[in-house]
Amino acid sequence: MRARARLAVELRDGRSVLSELRSVAPVTLVPQRRRGAGPAVVHLVSSATAPLGGDDLALEVRVGAGAVLHLCGIAATLALPGIHGERSRTSIRFDIDVNGSVVFLPEPTVVTARAAHSALFTANLADTARLRYREVLVLGRVGESPGSLDSTVEVVRDGTPLLRQRIDIGDPALTASSAYLAGHRVLATELLVWGEDPPTAASGDWWSLAPLARGGSLATALARDAVTAQRRLAAAVAAHPGLAVPHPEPAADLEPSPAQTSHAAG
């Protein structure tokens, strides 16, 4: 399956509004209307079983000057094997203009047995743009060994690379190594290009928050289960001086938008 989705947000009369929304199963974008001013809020929904081996899924997001977007996941993503062992691929790209802000908090990705999956996240930020991006990787369902996954994150701000990182999952020796996952089943990270960075690294029980050399910070947590990993990740994020709250989830005063039924095939 090949699917392409696109989302654009602009600032109009002091409000962040959707100027473009195209999605097709299994990459479905569901917007919500907010009472009063605030960010544009969109939910990323996997409306079919995906990614399966051989799938090629992509999402492009553009956030205009001064606009704010909260893009949130609904449920965990299961990377599943194909019939003939094909590799699946997902690609997500953000372009964020001057003073634009994005909070992208997808739910965990579970790498099931025999799956083969590649994930690519790229972001191009203007000098004053802000980004929060969370990734939670789970090595197999309970009681099973994971397949293979490679996840690459590349973030550039005003032409300067902030982070280029690749994580490979599926090698038992790497999983067991104290220099890699130390036998843990869940790896959670959150990239914070969000105001002031900590002057030095901070750490706790299987979590850390480290400032990057060219700006931004990376929070990392390891755990045996996703709930514990996300709790430890929240502790790491809370140590960031540029944040007032650990995780700015969409407010409770959200109501469905008529645009929920306006999805178009990409």
Q: For residue 8, name the pLDDT band (cuts at 50, 70, 90).
A: very high
Q: Which two tokens stand for residue 88?
A: 């699946």
When mean pLDDT is compared across 20-24, 142-146, 188-192, 231-235, the lowest value belongs to: 142-146
Length of the chain equals 266
Residue 169 lies in a domain: yes
Average pLDDT, the chain: 89
| CB-based burial label for 109 (10 Å; 0-12, 13-18, 19+) | buried
Q: Which has more pLDDT, 32 or 237? A: 237
pLDDT, one tens digit per residue, over 25-57 is 899 999 987 766 789 999 998 766 789 999 999
Residue 151 lies in a domain: yes
Provide mean pLDDT across the span 185-190.
Answer: 96
When mean pLDDT is compared across 15-24, 29-38, 192-201, 206-215, the lowest value belongs to: 29-38
Q: Which has more pLDDT, 247 or 135? A: 135
Residue 159 lies in a domain: yes
**Contact at 8 Å (CB) between 222 and 233?**
no
Phi, psi of 169 (to 5 degrees): -125, 140
> Whole-model pTM above 0.85?
yes
pLDDT value for 131:
98
pLDDT value for 35:
67
Q: What is the DSSP string of the chain?
A: -EEEEEEEEEEETTEEEEEEEE-BTTEEEEEEEESSS--EEEEEEE-SS-PBTT-EEEEEEEE-TT-EEEEEE-S-EEEB--TT-PPEEEEEEEEE-TT-EEEEEPPPEEE-TT-EEEEEEEEEE-TT-EEEEEEEEEESSTTS---EEEEEEEEEETTEEEEEEEEEE--HHHHH-TTTTTT-SEEEEEEEESSSPPSS-EEETTEEEEE-TTS-EEEEEEESSHHHHHHHHHHHHHT-TT-SSS--PPPS-EEE-GGGG-----
pLDDT value for 226:
94
Residue 110 lies in a domain: yes
Domain residues for 142?
2-248
User: Number of folded domains in the chain?
Assistant: 1
Residue 259 lies in a domain: no
Q: For residue 247, name the pLDDT band (cuts at 50, 70, 90).
A: very low
* CA 85 – CA 54 distance, rounded (Å): 8
Residue 256 lies in a domain: no
pLDDT, one tens digit per residue, over 80-136 is 998 888 999 999 999 999 999 999 999 999 999 999 999 999 999 999 999 999 999
Residue 263 lies in a domain: no
